[in-house]
Structure 1
């Protein structure tokens, strides 16, 4: 006897329907038959009876069991044979709420036209003005080591938060919530916007949420470039140039699609392939386990077009992974090592509590903080995966008990 949680259905995508478990932001994409099977589960119907109800669609008991295993892993099963698996929840947040007038203006057609204009305006200014083009020296706003590091780290996170805040406002403009949190991509610590309810809106509306960060980044770059024509103060000019450089780095980072950047989600939304990275992992597993002639059942179930796109994407991502790791090992780690070394030299040789002593302490602290936070999130993610693995073990237990 399998009892499932109450669900809410959303828009139809091709032959599939998006559903959400009430009280959560857990979404599934089901076809019409699977949705009817889901609605057949209740505390007074056995899996045998559900299979019999849908025998006209060539569904056997093993197919129903596999479907229940999927629902178990997704957290949609309430109880099995009266044994509680997970509690029912109440919706705490309304979806598709009416956005404010300001948000409607910020993401109107006119606003998007301006964001697009800012992209071409930035390219024009970079091309025709040597003075506006970013240089490596723009990274150092001050001659003081401690001041430069403070400005770099603080400025970087302010710039990134501004980018992420664009996503939050865009999400609210289509009536869904969003929040910024720490996360990591491969070996890079990042701020990311969690928009789990994005699946409750149409694919057309999702583009605005995905592209809002880049739109606001482009707008800020244009603002900083234009301001350089009106300010002659050296410090202000350095801050403006530094901001432009940081924004461009954020933009370049978006091209590393395998890190699930904004452009990755734009691409998957356009291709209507919701998890290219997961498909890529399956291909890598087949290659690195030396199973060249064996394609997993999931890959076999893909259309020829989807499989072809996944293979091309996997090849490009494989190159990108090496580029990202090279940058991390050759640039990021040596900078961190040099900073820590300088910190130790300053704190061990300089007089206790002198200005140079505190300069060294600050350099080391600001350098190690992101690495410490990254380590914490890697540990939390590992703990989460262990819990998910234990939950998946319920599948075989279910199969053996029937």
Structure 2
């Protein structure tokens, strides 16, 4: 749709709230959220008041002499974002939003239940449990998870089914923490399935969290980890008080799974819960993208814009450099997890399967190996399906 300085623009009703550095703009009908600087918000308010584009451009150039102002280009960006309702009296076709609507999103969970688990007192308890779990692990190194903790049975099929079942339950508890946290603010959430690296994961859409202040958003992002710390503390307690209990093997798998996922949360080259907390605290909502640009610039002889990235990132320069360090640390942590857990587990598993396939005398072990091989092929097909589905949606 053509836009000029003489165009008359009508926007959808917008909700604007000041954030740490810029402003969060919500289009309430679709539930979409956008971050805009002050000059953009000023332009929107003038558009809502019915000012002409020529008048708005002159006013912005006067109020923001250091900014490059092109009101026509700005309106085109608003069109792309789906914030423009009419141009010269003509209705703009709006694509259906994928955001969570108020008609769904676990609204059957009462707000009071969410507040029971997430309030000021409980948030402090979750933090104390995290500290307590770290101290317990330091004082009792024998509780440190080992890669063989998942091998409770001689049957590899039973081992993988046990591990997947426990991991699935823990994932659902983690995501239910997010859901309860956002319901404590009477906001909706949506649960979906996806994948990160080679893992199939459930993901809670916390888009509606942008309605909240940054400090409150952190509670939502850390809710899953908070629930895991409760489970971990209980597991450590039972393992220390009842070392000969019959469920010690299962508790070992629980500890291993939560430990790996906690380390995984610190891998900032992916958008994990902890990453969103860091992004939220700093107010740099393109931290990963800007961090990658900075890291790429370090390995290029010819940098864009003459290599003057400090000027491009402006006030976010120091944050982006620090994030880049943690980005690299996250990659190293992933490699450490692979060396300590994933590679030894895969080697032990498939060495055992190979020997069982050759051992014709033990028919039970042979058929167990066949069944495990079929399960492996099925999981690979499922992973490819989910990856393609995500690629198609994006």
Is TM more than 0.5 here?
A: yes
Q: Distance in 1 between matches of 2:336 and 2:215?
A: 36
Structure 1 match to 2:26: 20
Query: Counterpart of 1:294 in 2: which secondary structure?
Result: helix
Aligned to 1:35: 41
Q: How does 1:69-108 map to 2 (within 5 A)?
A: 69-78=76-85, 82=90, 84-86=92-94, 92-93=101-102, 100-108=111-119
1:311 to 306, 318, 321: 321
Secondary structure of residue in 2 paired with 1:167 = helix
Q: 2:331 aligns with which of 321, 327, 350?
A: 321
1:126 is matched with 137
CA distance in 2, matches of 1:355, 1:61: 74
Map of 1:364 onto structure 2: 373
Alignment correspondent of 1:7:
13
Name the SS for the 2:302 alignment partner.
Answer: coil
Instruction: Give the unaligned 5+ runs of structure 1.
Output: 386-402
Q: How does 1:238-277 map to 2 (within 5 A)?
A: 238-277=249-288
Using the alignment, how far apart are the partners of 2:171 and 2:199 within structure 1? 13
Whole-Å separation in 2 of the counterparts to 1:299 and 1:20: 30
CA distance in 2, matches of 1:156, 1:184: 14
Tell me by how many angstroms 1:190 deviates: 2.8
**How do 1:3-402 and structure 2 match up within 5 A?**
3=9, 5-14=11-20, 16-41=22-47, 48=54, 50-51=56-57, 54=60, 56-57=62-63, 63-78=70-85, 82=90, 84-86=92-94, 92-93=101-102, 100-229=111-240, 231=242, 235-287=246-298, 290-292=301-303, 294=305, 300-304=311-315, 306-321=316-331, 324=334, 332=342, 359-385=368-394
Structure 1 residue 155: Cα displacement? 1.4
Assess, with a 3 A threshold, how the Cα gap between structure 1 residues 315 and 187 changes in structure 2: closer, same or farther: farther
Superposition TM-score, scaled by structure 2 size: 0.79
SS in 1 for 2:303: coil
Q: SS of 1:263's equivalent?
A: helix
Q: Tell me, which stretches of 5 or more residues in structure 2 are unaligned? A: 1-6
- Structure 1 contact 181–192 (Cα < 8 Å) conserved: yes
Change (3 A) 1:14 1:32: same
Aligned residues: 380
Question: Contact between 2:115 and 2:181, CA under 8 Å: does it hold in 1?
Answer: no
Query: TM-score if structure 1 supplies the norm length?
Result: 0.77
Pairwise CA distance, 1:310: 0.5
